[in-house]
């Protein structure tokens, strides 16, 4: 059993359910209330959902990015700072996803203008880093 009382088989079952739910959401146009409901569901699942949430930043689907962003912004602990930093450095992660990741890191209290992020090749001019990222027009490129 892990420290949170979920064995590895149960943890994998939960992760698979989260993956399936994200697959169902792909391409849908969710209202803010629907995004909030998905976020609350992910928060209720807890730590086993984090790796699957992080996977969504490698996808270009705006709905998945919105749900993932809002879930991580609402997350208390553990905050997945290191995996998010790794995604920022990943060349397969798109600019919108990187802008949203910076938004999450800023919410966590990190200085997103700090020297550790200066070398990243992110074109943020098309995105509002301070946007809500909840699937509204604020989270999309211009």
pLDDT for 105: 92
Contacts (Cβ under 8 Å, ≥6 apart) of 133: 65, 66, 69, 70, 73, 100, 103, 104, 139
Q: Is 74 exposed, middle or buried (0-12, 13-18, 19+ CB in 10 A)?
A: middle
The CA distance from 90 to 120, in Å, is: 9
Please give the mean pLDDT across all residues of the chain.
83
Q: Which domain holds residue 111?
A: 8-139
Cis peptide before 132 (omega within 30 of 0): no
Q: Quick check: 54 pLDDT over 90? A: yes
Give the dihedral sign, CA 89/95/96/99.
Answer: positive
| DSSP one-letter string for 31-59 | -HHHHHHHHHHHHHH-GGGHHHHHHGGGS
Selected residue with higher pLDDT from 133 and 70: 70
User: Does a structural domain hold residue 3?
Assistant: no
Q: Quick check: 128 pLDDT over 60? A: no
User: Does a structural domain hold residue 2?
Assistant: no
Q: Quick check: 130 pLDDT over 60? A: no
pLDDT for 125: 55
Contacts (Cβ under 8 Å, ≥6 apart) of 7: 1
pLDDT for 42: 96
pLDDT for 141: 43
pLDDT digits (tens, 9 = 90+) for 10-39: 999 999 999 999 999 999 999 999 999 999
Q: Quick check: 5 pLDDT over 60? A: no
Percent of the chain having pLDDT more than 70?
76
pTM: 0.78
User: Does a structural domain hold residue 90?
Assistant: yes
The CA distance from 76 to 93, in Å, is: 24
The CA distance from 15 to 9, in Å, is: 10
Cα dihedral: 141, 115, 80, 15 (round 10)? 50
Number of domains in the chain: 1
């Amino acid at each position: 059993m892990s420290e949170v009382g979920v064995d590895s088989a149960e943890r994998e079952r939960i992760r698979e359910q989260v993956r399936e739910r994200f697959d169902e959401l792909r391409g849908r146009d969710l209202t803010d209330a629907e995004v909030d409901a998905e976020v609350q569901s992910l928060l209720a699942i807890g730590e086993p959902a984090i790796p699957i949430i992080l996977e969504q930043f490698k996808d270009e689907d705006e709905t998945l990015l919105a749900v993932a962003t809002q879930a991580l912004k609402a997350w208390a602990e553990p905050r997945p700072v290191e995996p998010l930093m790794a995604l920022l450095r990943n060349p397969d992660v798109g600019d919108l996803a990187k802008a949203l990741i910076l938004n999450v890191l800023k919410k966590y209290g990190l200085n997103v203008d700090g020297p550790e992020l200066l070398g990243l090749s992110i074109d943020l001019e098309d995105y509002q880093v301070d946007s809500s990222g909840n699937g509204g027009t604020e989270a999309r490129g211009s």
